[in-house]
Amino acid sequence: MVNSASVSYNQALEIKNLSRSFGSKQALHDVSLPIPRGGVFGLIGANGAGKTTLIKHILGAHYAETGSVRVFGFDPVTHPVEVLSRIGYMSEDRDIPYWMRVQEIMNYTRSFFPKWDASFAEQLREMFDLDPKQRIRTLSRGQTARVCLLLALAHRPELLVLDEPSSGLDPVVRRDILAAIVQTVADEGRTVLFSSHLLDEVERLADRVAILHEGRVLLEGELDAIQESFRRITLRFEQAFSEAPSILGAIEYRGSGHEWTYVCRGDREQLIQAAKTVKAEVVHEASVSLDEIFVCSVNRA
């Protein structure tokens, strides 16, 4: 295990057949995700889809019931120091010790990371306009999030893990967080994993995405490839239908009367062929937003 870790890993993270249940609730079901180094990986899912549970496995807070989790080749449960010193983590609760002052938590966190960049931390603190003497408890939600972000970034982690980073935050702080993701990934080799249900963020930032639903991975791959594989095609039929006529290859439809809109994945030609046989003409064709892809995938599951 340790030997394999010393080999240069081009996977930042490797999750294989991971399943986990809490009591009767199956939180993760046979999840396999390779997350390559250098890039932004977006984890999409509704609340309770298992995003946080998955992230906790990466941090070693849960052991793998079946399957395995490797972070830079290390098992996070048995090698916490090796794994966690490479990770900058920001939890969705932003549960940093509320009684500390900003400077205190910076000093405290610093002592754990040999690679802590004090001048960078100071630069971030000034940029975020944080008063070093102020207590975390008295900070606004946005400022607390900025402190968390600072703590996650200041040791220049190889892997930045952000769990719902922008939930409940104002646009200014959200911008800071997104900019941090961009800057992190712009430095070569560094990787970002973030979960979100704000899909426009994911669409802007992610190279790869995975859609998680009820503990299963519905869809995983490069965002561009996924987006290009989905098409939305509007067909006009000669006669009006009260229910959508079934067309081969369509995974989602809506509309009324003569015009019906179908979403297909991959097999566009097949759908157009099928449309011709029922004498429908293609009136409009467009690419599909991540939002729609998510809704389609979840509805289909």
Task: Please state, in angstroms and rounded to a whole number, the distance separating the CA atoms of residues 139 and 262.
Answer: 49
Member of 2, 4, 22, 248 binding other proteins (CB under 8 A): 22
* Alpha helices by DSSP H, the chain: 2-6, 51-58, 80-84, 102-110, 118-127, 141-153, 171-186, 199-205, 223-229, 268-277, 290-300
Q: How far is the CB of 185 from other proteins (least distance, A)?
A: 6
One of 95, 129, 238, 243 touching other proteins (CB under 8 A): 95
CA distance 282 to 288: 16
Residues 189-218 vs other proteins: string with x where CB under 8 A? Answer: ----------xxx-xxxxx-----------
Cα within 13 Å of Cα(239), Cβ side: 5
Near other proteins in 238-277, by CB under 8 A: none
Subset of residues 51 to 90 that bind other proteins, contact rule: CB under 8 A: 52-53, 56, 59-63, 77, 80-85, 87, 89
Total chain residues near other proteins (CB under 8 A): 74
Task: Measure the CA–CA gap between 286 and 42, rounded to whole angstroms.
Answer: 23
Within 222-241, the residues that bind other proteins by CB under 8 A are 223-224, 227-228, 232
Instruction: Determine contact, residues 232/261, Cβ cutoff 8 Å.
Output: yes
The answer to whether residue 301 forms part of the interface with other proteins (CB under 8 A) is: no
Q: Which residue has the tokens 């996924």?
A: 226
Closest CA to 48 of 213, 290, 294: 213
Instruction: Show the site string, 108-147: x = touches other proteins by CB under 8 A, - = not.
Output: xxxxxx------------------x--x-x----------
Q: Which is nearer to other proteins, 93 or 281 (CB)?
A: 93
Cβ distance to other proteins smaller for residue 38 or 245? 38
CB of 65 to other proteins, least distance (A): 11
Nearer to other proteins by Cβ, of 80 and 245: the residue is 80
Q: What is the dihedral of CA 56, 60, 66, 72, to 10 degrees?
A: 100
Nearer to other proteins, 82 or 245 (CB): 82
